[in-house]
Amino acid sequence: MRSFRSLALASIMSALSVVLTRFASIRVAFAGVEGVRLGLGPLPNILVGIVAGPLYGAASGAVSDLVGYALSPMGGAYMPHFTLTAALMGGIPGFVYQMLRRKDRRHPSVALIMVCVGASSLLVSLGLTPYFLNLLFGLPYKALIPPRAAAAVIEVPVYSILIRAVIVRYGGMARSGRSR
């Protein structure tokens, strides 16, 4: 039963991520290529990773990128590099959460969630994504890192507070096996 709830949660959050990423985000372009996307698009995938586990978070991220590309390709060819980054953005927080969580606590602290979200932001938003943008499009790191770092400084605490609020409100959702 728990795996069915986790799968249902991942599916719904993947759909929400597509809408938030493709249709409700602000895009900042560098040299004709999207360098930074500001919005809540990764939030549902990160939530799934923390609540249901890293595998579900990674699957939700990958599916949301594939469906999002099919619905709104943004004028370019499909690049699997960005499906990988979307999967990691959902999976890394879940993995870090499983490594650091305390089993005696019902709800994670905002600080713990910030560590989980910050780890994925550091590795993906400030690491892999600029690397792929440089590799594929020749965009210089010096132009990519400052705005992405500024976005991360805002997004990590906002995502963490929102994720904590959802977990507290809905009682842990898939992991607890209860729906309140």
* Gap between the Cα atoms of 116 and 75, Å rounded: 33
Alpha carbon 45 to its chain centroid, in Å, reads 5
Q: What CATH number corresponds to the domain at position 154?
A: 1.10.1760.20
Q: Is the model's pTM score more than 0.85?
A: yes
Residue 42, classified by CB atoms within 10 Å of its CB into exposed (0-12), middle (13-18) or buried (19+), is buried
Instruction: Extract the tokens encoding 31.
Output: 């040299």
Continuous segment of H or E residues that includes residue 140: none
34 falls within a domain: yes
180 falls within a domain: no
pLDDT tens digits, one per residue of 58-111: 999 999 999 999 998 876 789 999 999 999 999 999 999 999 998 878 889 999
98 falls within a domain: yes
The domain total for the chain is 1
pLDDT tens digits, one per residue of 144-179: 898 899 999 999 999 999 999 999 998 755 444 444
- The per-residue pLDDT for 93 is 98
* Gap between the Cα atoms of 108 and 170, Å rounded: 13
176 falls within a domain: no
CA dihedral 155, 161, 164, 170 (to 10 degrees): -100
- The per-residue pLDDT for 73 is 82
177 falls within a domain: no
Continuous segment of H or E residues that includes residue 180: none
Identity (one letter) of the amino acid at 58? A
pLDDT tens digits, one per residue of 27-65: 877 666 666 788 999 999 999 999 999 999 999 999 999
* Gap between the Cα atoms of 65 and 17, Å rounded: 9
39 falls within a domain: yes
6 falls within a domain: yes
Helix (H), strand (E), coil (C) string for 54-107: HHHHHHHHHHHHHHHHHHCCCCCCCCHHHHHHHHHHHHHHHHHHHHHCCCCCCC
175 falls within a domain: no
pLDDT tens digits, one per residue of 103-149: 878 889 999 999 999 999 999 999 999 999 899 989 888 888 988 99
Which domain covers residue 107, as residue numbers? 2-170
CB atoms within 10 A of CB 64: 31
